[in-house]
Structure 1
């Protein structure tokens, strides 16, 4: 099995358990991700160098419009897809085995966690990794400290309030907040004054 096959395995929603070839390769990829993120986070890098390191991490081209403020953490890296004009602020953690897709124009605040792996509830199944993707739509804004859990899609133009824990899909153009995150209001229904002063 190679990395492309492992990603396909994850993208098909198949679990990975210790002692299998899939798990052994996952550990190799995780160590590579730790090496690259350690380099990324250990010293100052120019925006161009950051994009090059992120390209190494993801195994994909990174657009010139992408901006990242390190430090940044990922325990796999190879199943992240990033669109154009994306901004990721400092101290974010992406657990991307199940796939993280970030649409054009997305803004991701400090300390955001995107998690794509769950585990079995029974003690004997606890070490089994069960993947499900996180999809961030175009022009989504995720506030500082938010957590997005496996299998969640956030519709375009939506806003996730700071500190929210998102356990279910978010409709386009909506604001969600809280633990677990709940619908607060539609952006389309806000007056111009509210859009200038609303605190999330």
Structure 2
């Protein structure tokens, strides 16, 4: 039996070390950036076509309102529930799936990144990285400038305070703040 070699994209989507410099991945990121560029330069009075661009970019959306400027890596790994809202300057680095529940609001300047680089300097020097999915529950509000790191799950009804850096899971019905984010209140 022949051993099947995984593509870099398959490695990326499985959470294994992969080379983001792979031609296929470079081309997919370039395509997503072209769509983001068109979206960001689109006529603000033509929201219908702006939404069509987002729908063509995302893996799935049940209703998204996004303010320009918006940026992502691939787009096809972003899944939004109903009533998703992203304010100006949101960046989603979606090398792995980013799944949003219903009624999620992102304030200006939110950064969500599924990608990470190895701690081992030799692996970093080779250009390898990993990606872990991020899940954000229903009725979540993420404050201005917050950063959500790879592998994090945010529970329903949670609030992430402005400027927080979320490095671990956030339980439902909590407010987290700080660097790194810690539970400040149960709602």
Aligned 8 A contact 2:59 2:76 in 1: yes
Relative to structure 1, the CA distance from residue 133 to residue 74 in structure 2 (aligned partners, 3 Å threshold; closer, same or farther) is: same
2:132 pairs with 1:132: yes
* Cα separation, 2, equivalents of 1:146 and 1:7: 28
* Cα separation, 1, equivalents of 2:16 and 2:145: 29
* Number of aligned positions between the proteins: 178
Listed one character per residue, the Cα deviations across residues 114-152 of structure 1 (whole Å, up to 9, x for unaligned) are: 000111122221121201011110000000000000000
* Cα separation, 2, equivalents of 1:18 and 1:39: 24
- For structure 1, the residue ranges without an aligned partner over 5 or more in a row are 188-200
Alignment partner of 1:119 out of 112, 117, 126: 117
TM-superposed deviation, 1:77:
1.2
* Cα separation, 1, equivalents of 2:18 and 2:12: 8
TM-superposed deviation, 1:29:
0.5
TM-score, normalization: structure 2?
0.89
Q: Which has the higher helix share?
A: 1
* Cα separation, 2, equivalents of 1:99 and 1:68: 18
2:177 pairs with 1:177: yes
SS at match of 2:145: coil
2:57 pairs with 1:57: yes
The aligned counterpart of 1:198 is none
TM-superposed deviation, 1:67:
1.0
The aligned counterpart of 2:3 is none
- For structure 2, the residue ranges without an aligned partner over 5 or more in a row are 1-6
Listed one character per residue, the Cα deviations across residues 57-102 of structure 1 (whole Å, up to 9, x for unaligned) are: 1243x33x42111110012211111111111111000000111001
Aligned 8 A contact 1:7 1:79 in 2: no
The aligned counterpart of 1:190 is none
TM-score, normalization: structure 1?
0.83
* Cα separation, 1, equivalents of 2:95 and 2:136: 15
Alignment partner of 2:12 out of 10, 13, 23: 10
The aligned counterpart of 2:4 is none
* Cα separation, 1, equivalents of 2:78 and 2:157: 20
Listed one character per residue, the Cα deviations across residues 5-29 of structure 1 (whole Å, up to 9, x for unaligned) are: 876543321221266xxx2211010
Aligned 8 A contact 1:47 1:67 in 2: no
Q: Which runs of 4+ in 1 moved over 6 A?
A: none
* Cα separation, 1, equivalents of 2:64 and 2:104: 10
Alignment partner of 1:66 out of 64, 67, 88: 64
1:148-163 map, 5 Å: 148-163=148-163
